[in-house]
Amino acid sequence: MASLKELKNRISSVKNTQKITRAMQMVAAAKLRKAQEAAENARPYAERIRGVIANLADSMGEGGGDAPKLLTGTGSDETVLLIVATADRGLCGGFNTNIVRRAREEIVAQERAGKSVKLYVIGKKGHDQLNRLYGDQIVKYISLKEERTLHAGIAKGIGEDVTSMFDAGEFDIAKLVFAKFRNVMEQDPVAQTIIPANASIDATEAGASAPDLGGAIYTYEPDEAGILEVLLPRSINTQIYSALLENQAGEMGSKMTAMDNATRNAGEMIDDLTLTFNRTRQAKITSELIEIISGAEAL
C-alpha cells in the first residue's frame, strides 16, 4: 500500500494535470469558433466553383472542343496520388488516427485493384503513422507546424505543386483525404477526387443549384477550354484550402472533447485518491491508537 506522502504527491500531480487539461480545453474552445466559421464560410465558394466547372464542362461537351487534361484526365488510372491531410499536433483524441485509417483503406483498395499508390502527406501526425507502413510510397511531406495562421497561400503552394506533378505525368488520379467537420463530436474522414475534375457531377450534388437559363444560349469569351484552363487550377487550390480549414475545425473540436474527457477523468481520479488517502490515514491513526492502548495495558 502506498504511503500517505506518496498519495499526497499523486493527488497534487493529478490536480496540476487537471489544470493543464482544463486550460487546453478552454483554448481549443476559443479557437474552435473561429475555425468553424472559416470552414463554413469556405464551403459555398468551393461548392459553387465546382458547379461552374460542371456547367462549363456540359457546355463544352455540347459544343465540342479540346478539354483540359485536368478535366478529362490522362486517359489512364494506373497511378493514384493520395493527398493525406492531418494535424501537426496530438492530444486531439482519434482525429488523426481516423484520417490515417481512411487513407489506409483507400491504399488497400487501390492496390487490390492493381494500381500504384503515391502519398503526399500534409501534417506531422499523419506522416509519422503512414511512414511506418508506407514510407517508400511517400513522395512529399509538408508540415504546417511553423505556420501561425492558415491562409490561402499555403493551399496555393500545395495546389501548384500537385498540378506540376500531374503535368509531369507522375500520377493519373489525385484524391484528397481529410476530415469533414460536422460538429464538435463528429468529424467524417473522406476521400475526395480532385484530379481529374468530375465533369459529370450534378450541380445540385456539388451543393450549388444549376442556374435557370430560361432557354438562353450562352457563349463564352474566351472559349470554355480557355476558361477551364484558368478555373481548374484555382478549383484545386480552393478544395485543398477548404480541406485544411475543415481539418483545423475538426482538430479543435476533437481536442476540446478530448481535454474535457481528460479533465473529467482527472477529477474522478482525484476523488478516488482522496478517498484512499483518507482511509489510509484513518487506518494509520487507528493502528497508532491500538499500539498506545496496548502499551498502556501492558504497564
21-258: CATH class: alpha beta
Binning pLDDT at 50, 70 and 90, where does residue 58 land? confident
> For cell 482544463, what's the residue?
22
pLDDT in the model for residue 174? 93
pLDDT at 230 over 50: yes
Where along the chain do its domains lie? 21-258
Binning pLDDT at 50, 70 and 90, where does residue 147 land? confident
* Residues paired with residue 84 on neighbouring β-strands, in sequence order: 121, 177
Identify the DSSP state of 171.
Answer: -
Catalytic positions are 92
**φ and ψ of 218, to 5 deg:** -95, 140
Q: Which of 96-105, 121-130, 286-295 is predicted least confidently?
A: 286-295
Residue in 197, 137, 195 with CA at minimum distance from that of residue 165: 195
pLDDT in the model for residue 51? 79
pLDDT in the model for residue 208? 46
Q: What is the mean pLDDT of residues 221-248?
A: 88
pLDDT in the model for residue 206? 42
Confidence (pTM): 0.82
Task: Specify the amino acid at residue 150.
Answer: L
